[in-house]
């Protein structure tokens, strides 16, 4: 038997995060049903994913393609599991992504989306995409510049085998609540503009373990939560 995280703890952590989302939605006068939970399972063993799946979670986010591919194979018996790639994506890795993922949150240039569209099999449902926007302005962060985001949204929305769902962003870490909120609000305003431009856009992917309440208050429709669901991750 492999050492395993007690199932009751997985249940408890999941219930706790769902409660946080519900409370934040209520506080913001929003319907909690508008906010999806993506469980970020990077660097964690697939057994941990299985436990959270047993507790009812279906959508899982991974940062690294190789690791994601291994987990997809190990967990292929979990039929309705949904895989999201949320980490930076190189153009020479798009084929594996197009073959295995259901969503990609980190599209930051047209070339990547074009390759994903060309490589997505016509037998599969269109690949769901979010355009990642660099809302923190840090050079080190991936994402399209805010003033180029709507042009990219428009171009990606015209590709055949992908379905543009919305925008993703990450605030600069450790800048305090007011500055975090300002960065989330910038993404929300781009999301509203993108929705007005492209029918079918419905996803604003923002908020993590430490800032999901602020993100929900700023209109997030999908929070990406790792630590609060799984505990601390092993170092990369
Ligand atoms: C790791 C990661 C998360 C989850 O972060 P936590 O603080 O553990 O909740 C969310 N989004 C992205 C893009 C990540 O890389």
| Shortest-distance atom of ligand 1 to CA 225 | 9
Residue 122 CA, ligand 1 centroid: distance in Å: 31
Q: For 214-221, what is the mean pLDDT?
A: 98
Q: For 12-37, what is the mean pLDDT?
A: 98
Res 37 pLDDT > 80: yes
Residue nearest atom 7 of ligand 1, based on CA coordinates: 209
Residue nearest atom 11 of ligand 1, based on CA coordinates: 224
Res 234 pLDDT > 90: no
Res 2 pLDDT > 80: no
Q: CA Rg, the chain, in Å? A: 17
pLDDT reported for residue 212: 98
pLDDT in tens, 45-97: 999 999 999 999 999 999 999 999 999 999 999 999 999 999 999 999 999 99
| Shortest-distance atom of ligand 1 to CA 40 | 4
| Shortest-distance atom of ligand 1 to CA 210 | 7
pLDDT reported for residue 1: 46
Ligand 1 pocket (Cβ < 6 Å) reads 40, 42, 63, 86, 170, 208-210, 224-228
Most distant CA atoms of the chain, gap in Å = 53
């Amino acid at each position: 038997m492999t050492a395993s995280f007690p199932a009751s703890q997985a249940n408890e952590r999941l219930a706790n995060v769902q409660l946080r989302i519900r409370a934040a939605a209520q506080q913001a006068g929003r319907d909690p049903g508008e906010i999806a939970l993506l469980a970020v399972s990077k660097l964690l063993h697939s057994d941990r994913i299985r436990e959270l799946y047993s507790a009812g979670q279906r959508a899982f986010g991974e940062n690294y393609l190789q690791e994601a591919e291994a987990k997809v194979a190990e967990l292929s018996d979990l039929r309705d599991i949904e895989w999201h790639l949320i980490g930076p994506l190189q153009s020479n890795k798009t084929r594996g992504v197009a073959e295995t993922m259901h969503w990609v949150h980190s599209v930051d240039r047209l070339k990547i989306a074009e390759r994903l569209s060309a490589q997505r099999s016509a037998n599969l449902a269109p690949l769901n995409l979010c355009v990642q926007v660099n809302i923190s302005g840090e050079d080190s962060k991936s994402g399209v510049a805010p003033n180029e985001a709507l042009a990219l949204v428009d171009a990606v929305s015209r590709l055949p085998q992908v379905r543009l769902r919305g925008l993703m962003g990450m605030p600069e870490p450790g800048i305090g609540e007011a500055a975090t909120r300002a960065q989330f609000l910038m993404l929300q305003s781009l999301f509203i503009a993108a929705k007005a431009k492209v029918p079918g856009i419905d996803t604003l992917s923002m908020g993590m373990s430490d800032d999901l309440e602020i993100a929900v208050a700023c209109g997030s429709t999908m929070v990406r939560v790792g630590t609060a669901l799984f505990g601390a991750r092993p170092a990369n």
